[in-house]
Chains A and B, each alone.
Chain A
């Protein structure tokens, strides 16, 4: 009986706090994406466009580790029985990826860059939970910031 109570309370806390964290995070992601969209252009192309004459380059990175909550893990466990899309994990990875890109953009902007080329993303699950379930994921975004020289 007591086990059931613990389980239900963990599910509830996971659901409530997880949802709160996720909604807050999405709001902040959308706001910052809007702010950076025009200032730092992102390009996943391998070479910079040939329009810059004088510019310096710098490697910029941004990363985020986001943890899954108890409720999400349980839902994903159920999904594993039936198959299909695990939307709870999809949103987790989406958040981590967008957060990592935003952090990279912020650093590039601080360095005076106007664009980031050759954007690469890398995902790693860094801590495994019970039975190889995902505990938390790290997403790293990196690219080359193109910093134009100031006109003298």
Chain B
């Protein structure tokens, strides 16, 4: 096994009486795209939330490159190199597209807090160049000066992806990056994600769309009712009868 970027071991999480996650063990390898699939309510988003510090696990450890993420706030986890794309786009709707991407670039460059009220934005060429480069990669350059709030839903998701990519995260978490997208936009997003893969960025992707999962994933973990019922390469998972029953079958019947 190569380097483990994210190591989730023995994680439990309950909401009231509901067991959302039961004894989850997960190892994410460097440079790989790891898909987490499962029916609705399987605990996929909960697992991602535990990974980014939005939720504390009741027990168990989440370890990122040897650092425990337990008790860390979202900004601390981001500063360690974990970026996240949300299920509903979390962008800065009142700012221009360019500024939306410059802000995460500032976070990467200057850290969690820097006080420079008299520095000029005009002098931030390095950050701006970086942001423009990423916008160009994602085909958003023509929208550069528009308000992010006025973008279409598909473009908002691409913008959010740009905001994550500009930070060159060590680990990128994607929560249904193509949900609600047209087939055209979905394919475009797949192409972008494939391109990132070539750069060796580690990704965890939650997705319902099997087309997306099987075009991107190196490794698949199947969650159902808060437990891992299967894992393996796409071929292994595809052929697993348990998975077909719990998920693939369940969805088609």
Asked if chains A and B come from one complex, the reply is: no
